[in-house]
Amino acid sequence: MPTPRLPRVRRLAIPTGKPTGMPRGSVRARLAAARGWVRQEWQRAEPLWRPVARGLGWVSPLGYTVLGLGVLAWWAGARWGWTELTMLAGAAFVLLGACLVLALGRTRVEIVAEVDPARVTVGDPATGRVTVTNVGRTPVLPLLVELPVGVSAARFVLPPIGAGAEHEELFVVPTHRRGVIPVGPARTVAGDPLGLVRRSVDWTEVTELFVHPRTVALESLGAGLLRDLEGSVSEDQSLSDLAFHALREYQPGDDRRYIHWRSSAKAGRLLVRQFLDTRRSHVTIVVDPDPASYRDGDEGSSALREATGAREATLGRTLPIPGQALPEVRDLETAVSIAASIALRAQRDEQDSTVVCGRHTVVRGTPVRTLDLLARVEPEVVALPATAATAAALAPDTSVVVLVTGPHREFVDLQRATAQFGSEVRAVVVVVDPLAERGIRHGGGLTLLTVDALRSLRVALAAGVSAP
């Protein structure tokens, strides 16, 4: 019996998704060529679209509203044949075009804006002036000049200025709060009386007005609580210094100048003097910028933590102040003033000083640099031990560290912060608490000085020498 033949199985081709026509490389090449052509044509047409884009940038939100209403009225009039709407659209277009024409033209002037003095203390008057000179050959029509000052702006409507003439305007900058106030740029504003088009041209750069914190005059740091006239003695032994320690037997290589001949003659062998290393006075000041550490900082701290996030705050990251204005923390301002007073006194005593406050640091600075730095201080959420570690790294030769904070900072954080400098460094913690009595106490290896106001700092530091 013959064997039956099985039917022949046909193999089907399963598509793999890969293109079978144009190679992928050629597609990419064509797309790149198309992008290059579009870019080239865009650059070639720049003389045409650049003025249009500049003109559209002059249109104010009110102008765009009028333009939108005009387009909507034109569409509705053409759609339903309403002649009134078509006339309204034409009026809107003509009005906007006339306003653009009024904004055209070149103003040939020179503007100088300056503030004198550039550095003031909180509460001191700061005045400025804007001088506008017409450098053209024709008179300048009444002109509006704007000068941003901080979060506000000063506006001056200048009268007509003849050819070659100048006009001066004075203004006063409020300095009731410490900080750095940006002034400028001065700009001229041209447009229409309705405010549909506004063309502004900047003429000056931005200048900064430094409002320094208040300070009080302190006694020399060689006496009182922060006495450190000749530096502190360390446990490191050496053959050349000021603090005599002991005598030891001479060894080959020792400097013969330090041989104590009288003791050597009595002992019958050579003896050399041995010293303990002393360090030059270096005062390091660490300011706690966290508003939660102070009594009146609860509102500002809540707004700051909501803006930056509680998780980042617990990680100890230094976070910048958010864009919105926060309530002023007066106790923090007192802490900044205390730090400035101590730093200036140390610099007058020709001692090295380092100031660290959040993101801002200055090492061995001059009085002007120190006050400029403290003028920039803003509330921040920080980890105090990490800030102290930064200060210890910047000033490894610190002999006295002053930590300025508020009553809400945990005592454990204070110990961890001062421990970053080592046990041989004298640590003083100044607590700003307007509701507490002025006093000094010792505990946990720290000296805690409580002050209720800036005016109490001088008496508190001077009385610290008699404290137990």
At 255-307, the pLDDT tens digits run: 777 787 888 888 888 888 776 555 557 889 999 999 988 987 654 455 445 54
Q: Rank 114-118, 202-206, 335-339, 396-400 by mean pLDDT and report only the highest.
A: 335-339
Q: Rank 26-40, 189-203, 345-359 by mean pLDDT and report only the highest.
A: 345-359
State percent of the chain over pLDDT 70: 78
Residue pointed to by tokens 């006009």: 167
**Token pair recorded at residue 8:** 């022949």
End-to-end Cα spacing for the chain: 124
pLDDT value for 212: 94
What fold, for 109-212?
A: Immunoglobulin-like (2.60.40)
Q: Which residues contact 3 (CB under 8 A, 6 or more apart)?
A: none
Q: How far is CA 137 from CA 121, 161, 188, in A?
A: 44, 11, 19
Q: Give the tens place of pLDDT for each residue, 299-353.
A: 445 544 554 444 333 333 333 333 334 557 888 999 999 999 999 988 888 888 8
d(CA 418, CA 421) in angstroms, rounded, equals: 6
Containing H/E element for 146? Answer: strand 143-149
Q: Give the tens place of pLDDT for each residue, 167-190.
A: 888 888 888 889 999 998 888 887
d(CA 99, CA 91) in angstroms, rounded, equals: 12
Counted residue by residue, the chain has a size of 468
Task: List the CATH code of the domain at 282-466.
Answer: 3.40.50
Where on the phi/psi map is residue 47: left (φ > 0), alpha (ψ -120 to 50), or beta? alpha
Q: Where are the domains of the chain?
A: 34-103, 109-212, 233-278, 282-466
Q: Give the tens place of pLDDT for each residue, 415-450.
A: 999 899 888 888 889 999 988 888 888 887 788 899
